[in-house]
């Protein structure tokens, strides 16, 4: 009798484990966000309603989102600046053979109404930035990419999956950074420009709403109006001299900052809401450009005159894959403390991890990198990962 009870308990436990595993089995949702004219929509927010799980569309409107079977009864919320938000049941999306999601343009009439002074929009947005953002301790899962270019052609690529502890835009930088996984290409550079810290730190410290804006240094004008998630949005541009500018997309009702464009590093920051309606960074890109002297050996080999310079660039792209605000669920490993260029950091490489990782669809940015890195000696990028890492 006792043996029968033990077997009964085992069977119940086994069925429970199978049930949990079945629920946790991952399903990859892939599609493209387009408008009514069949034009793709970049940087759209795709989020599971009432969850903190989501992603952003690429520059070409494509997205990839991992969900579990227990999410099949949930719905997606698709939001983008200038468009009406759309709710779509996950199961309906899966059943639909056409994976294009159409969202409608939202027409605003704010251009005919001046509610407050231009500078006051900006002042109120800055004043309310902590109130409108996730500002308590939280965890961000970030896919960070950096490509090194010479004369407009990619010669080195490094990609890290990061676990970041943050306290939001009220702080100038991230609190802790863990490098979970990484991979890099073969290094075909002539000029190996080094940066002494992980480049993700620049993403935080050069963000205008994190490092502070001296409002008096800029002349603020309204450049247009749009919308986001049902809220009217004004586009405010601050100019300092001929080339320096900051462009803020500010909600008229909440004064939330939904997007930032800046001449500093030609950067873009896109924000979206979590399940509590608080904003956090969703996507970022920027570029650093310079001219560096061609090393003596390469200069002589190429028979170039002394003082020959080469155009170099670092191109960066970051996707925030997930956010966790429940402190009990926040898990953090070893904080990196390597004072060196991110391309030189000793990072774990697990081919199986990257095989199963829900990487965003290839952007134009990444396709160009991949093609150019493979063209140098005809070695596939996947093979380069295996050999170099």
DSSP structure class, residue 344: T
CA gap 169, 204 in Å, rounded: 9
pLDDT of 115 reads 61
Residue-by-residue DSSP string for 197-208: S-THHHHHHT-H
pLDDT of 114 reads 54
Strand pairing partners for 268? 261, 285
Provide the CA 62 distance to its chain's centre, in angstroms. Answer: 14
CA gap 140, 203 in Å, rounded: 13
Evaluate whether the domain defined by 2-102 bears CATH number 2.40.110.10.
Answer: no
Coil/strand/helix, residue 154: strand
First to last CA, the chain: 57
CA gap 25, 52 in Å, rounded: 18
In terms of Cα–Cα distance, which of 312, 26, 285 is closest to 148? 312
How many CA atoms lie less than 13 Å away from 344 in the CB half-sphere? 11
Cβ-contact 225, 118 below 8 angstroms: no
Helix then strand then coil, in percent of the chain rounded to 5, is: 25, 40, 35
Number of CB atoms found within 10 A of residue 316's CB: 20
CA gap 366, 323 in Å, rounded: 24
CA gap 110, 113 in Å, rounded: 5
| Alpha-helical runs (H) found in 206-264 | 208-211
Coil/strand/helix, residue 148: strand
Compute φ and ψ for 233, nearest 5 degrees. Answer: -130, 135
Name the residue with tokens 């509590």: 276
Domain positions in the chain: 2-102, 110-388
Global model pTM greater than 0.85 = yes
Name the residue with tokens 């009990």: 328
pLDDT tens, position by position, for the chain (389 residues)?
444 445 444 444 444 433 334 445 778 889 999 999 999 999 898 988 877 778 888 888 999 888 888 888 899 999 999 999 999 999 999 999 889 999 999 877 665 455 678 889 899 999 999 999 999 999 999 999 999 999 999 999 999 999 999 999 878 888 899 999 999 999 999 888 889 999 999 999 999 999 889 999 999 999 999 999 889 999 999 999 989 999 999 999 999 999 999 999 999 999 999 888 999 999 999 999 999 988 888 878 877 888 889 999 999 999 998 899 998 999 888 888 778 999 999 888 999 999 888 888 888 888 889 999 999 989 999 999 999 98
CA gap 157, 256 in Å, rounded: 35
């Amino acid at each position: 009798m006792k043996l029968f009870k033990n077997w009964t308990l085992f069977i119940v436990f086994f069925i429970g484990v199978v049930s949990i595993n079945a629920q946790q089995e991952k399903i990859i949702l892939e599609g493209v966000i387009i408008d009514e004219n069949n034009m793709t929509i970049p940087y759209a927010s795709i989020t599971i309603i009432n969850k903190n799980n989501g992603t952003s569309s690429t520059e070409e409107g494509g997205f990839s989102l991992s969900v579990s079977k227990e999410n099949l009864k949930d719905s997606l919320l698709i939001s983008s600046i200038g468009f009406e938000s759309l709710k779509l049941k996950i199961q309906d999306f899966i059943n639909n053979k056409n994976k294009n999601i159409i969202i409608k343009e939202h027409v605003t009439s704010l251009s005919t109404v001046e509610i407050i002074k231009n500078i006051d929009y900006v002042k109120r947005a800055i004043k309310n930035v902590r109130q409108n953002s996730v500002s308590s301790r939280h965890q961000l899962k970030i896919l960070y990419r950096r490509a090194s270019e010479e004369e407009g052609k990619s010669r080195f690529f490094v990609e890290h999956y990061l676990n970041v502890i943050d306290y939001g835009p009220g702080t100038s930088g991230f609190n802790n950074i863990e490098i979970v996984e990484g991979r890099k290409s073969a290094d075909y550079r002539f000029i190996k420009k080094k940066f002494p810290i992980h480049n993700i730190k620049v993403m935080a410290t050069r963000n205008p709403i994190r490092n502070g804006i001296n409002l008096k240094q800029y002349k603020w004008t309204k450049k247009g109006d749009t919308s986001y998630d049902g809220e009217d949005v004004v586009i405010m541009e601050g100019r300092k001299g001929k080339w320096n500018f900051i462009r803020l997309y500010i909600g008229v009702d909440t004064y939330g900052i939904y997007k930032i464009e800046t001449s500093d590093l030609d950067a873009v920051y896109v924000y979206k809401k979590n399940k509590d309606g608080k904003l956090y960074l969703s996507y970022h890109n920027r570029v650093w450009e310079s001219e560096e002297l061609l090393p003596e050996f390469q200069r002589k080999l190429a028979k170039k005159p002394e003082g020959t310079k080469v155009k170099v660039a670092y191109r960066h792209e970051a996707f925030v894959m997930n956010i966790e605000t429940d402190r009990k669920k926040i898990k953090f490993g070893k904080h990196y403390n390597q004072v060196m260029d991110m391309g030189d950091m000793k990072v774990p490489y697990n081919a199986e991890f990257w095989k199963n990782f829900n990487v965003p669809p290839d952007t134009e940015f990444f396709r160009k990198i991949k093609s150019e890195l493979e063209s140098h000696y005809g070695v596939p990028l996947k093979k380069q990962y295996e050999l170099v890492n």
